[in-house]
Amino acid sequence: MYKELEPYIKSHGKIGEKKLQQIIKFFKPIRTTRNERLSNLGQVCKHFYFIRKSFLRSNEINTKGNQVTGCFALENSVMSVNTSFILRKPSRDCLVPLEQSEWLVINHINFCELVNTYPPFANVYHQFLKFVFIHSQMRIYSFLGMEGIDKLKWATEHEPKLLSRISSKAVASYLGMTNSTLSKLREKS
């Protein structure tokens, strides 16, 4: 059950088997169905997720009632509704698996204990925060001045696995365009 999590943690710093097992025991396995929300709008995000099987979408609902995709995460990576999880405030986002899924989850209290006690686990968290920050900055600054075709090229270059697995509607939301615009751009490229 934890075979994917162990190498993931080991890849973030040297750790002995005993300490690794102490970390692992804090994670609990869960399974969800497609579109079963892990974290809802307006609720405090209670867990940090390691993705064993599936991929995860973080999105919010804009003032027009449309889903706006913030990011995706694939197998063997981690995800949470960061602002809510860190600040313990109600979320503007929700986490939704786009396939039948398997997760390893840890609650906020245990997560903080591990970050403060085990440097390799703290490094998992720091690397995750670095990735989220850099990825967000790239998307914001790239997308501000890009035409639709350039956004699609950016996603093809930086997110190739996602584009092959997610629906056109979700891709369009992620790129900040309509599904029909995305279809036209794909025909041109």
- Rounded average pLDDT over 67-93: 90
Predicted pLDDT at 1: 66
Region of 65 please: left (phi>0), alpha (psi -120 to 50) or beta: left
In angstroms, the CA 168 to CA 174 distance is 10
CATH code where residue 100 lies: 2.60.120.10
Flag whether 187 is in a domain.
no
Flag whether 174 is in a domain.
no
| pLDDT of 162 strictly over 80 | no
Predicted pLDDT at 33: 95
The SS3 call for residue 51 is strand
Predicted pLDDT at 69: 85
Q: What is the residue range of 44's domain? A: 5-117
Q: Report whether 32 contacts 26 (CB < 8 A).
A: no
Name the pLDDT band for 139 (thresholds 50, 70, 90).
confident
pLDDT of 87-106, one tens digit each? 999 998 999 998 999 999 99
The SS3 call for residue 27 is coil
Point out which residues pair with 50 in neighbouring strands: 78, 104
**Residue position matching structure tokens 């995709």:** 69
pTM over 0.75: yes
Q: How many domains does the chain have?
A: 1
Flag whether 132 is in a domain.
no
58 membership: H or E segment, kind and range: strand 56-61
* pLDDT, averaged across the chain: 89
Flag whether 58 is in a domain.
yes
- Burial (CB count within 10 angstroms: exposed 0-12, middle 13-18, buried 19+), residue 48: buried
Flag whether 73 is in a domain.
yes
Name the pLDDT band for 108 (thresholds 50, 70, 90).
very high
pLDDT of 56-69, one tens digit each? 889 888 888 888 88
Q: In what order do the strands lie in the sheet with 94-97?
A: 67-73, 56-61, 94-97
In angstroms, the CA 186 to CA 189 distance is 5
Flag whether 45 is in a domain.
yes
Flag whether 15 is in a domain.
yes
| pLDDT of 52 strictly over 90 | yes
